[in-house]
Amino acid sequence: MSIRQTIIERRSIKQFNGKKVEKETVLRLIEDAAWAPNHGNREPWRFVITAGEDQSAVHTLLRDLVFPNWQTEEPDALAKKMEKFTLPGAYAFVIVPEDARQKERLEDYAAASMLIQNMQLLGWEDGIGMCWKTPGFLDNPKFRTALNVQNGERVIAMVQIGYFDQMPPAKPRKDVAQIVSVFGE
């Protein structure tokens, strides 16, 4: 696959098939993706991951955050609602420093964003899909505590990682003529 092909053909995967992704695979994806450019070589990122066979602890955490009244739910209905959290094969929560200086903070967010896209492209080459998600609970103190996120850090992404059976259709992009003007013309 050429880089061009991978960039164009990658899709955000939101429906996974439940096959687990091994920890070593996630570590390799992050290790390679960390070659993303980043100003001052600050490498402004760290990760909390779950992978492999038993990910029940993170499923429990997500259930408690998303369905605080889960005890009142009918178990099968709850399990169905939870599938969007239980079917991904692994998770990477991406944590960046919140630099007090605005320029550095933006640079760090941009650099971590490039790392995440690198991960998505590298995974795609291996048949592993991902979706960068930003649910509201990323800023929830209970969630931050569970992940040991420190003051001055922010969780910018829940990256769901996994295998999938169905390829979602591409969401069309604007024509380049709509988004580019040539200076002076």
Ligand X SMILES: Cc1cc2nc3c(=O)[nH]c(=O)nc-3n(C[C@H](O)[C@H](O)[C@H](O)COP(=O)(O)O)c2cc1C
Residues in touch with ligand X (CB under 6 A): 11-12, 14, 131-135, 171
- For residues 101 and 171, which CB has a smaller minimum distance to ligand X in the complex? 171
What's the min distance (Å) between Cβ of 135 and ligand X? Answer: 6
State the nearest-atom distance from the C-beta of 164 to ligand X, in Å.
12
Which of 75/172 has CB closer to ligand X?
A: 172
Question: Which is closer to ligand X, CB of 9 or CB of 43?
Answer: 9
Q: How far is 121 from 9, CA to CA, in rounded Å? A: 9
Nearer to ligand X among residue 178 and residue 181 (C-beta): 178
**C-alpha closest to that of 92 among 32, 160, 149:** 160
Per the structure block, which two tokens stand in for 80? Answer: 């169905």
Nearest alpha-carbon partner for 99 in 109, 90, 91, 89: 109
**Within 13 Å of residue 91, how many CA atoms lie on the same side as its CB?**
23
Query: What is the nearest approach in angstroms of ligand X to the Cβ of residue 133?
Result: 4
Whether 95 contacts 156, CB under 8 Å: yes
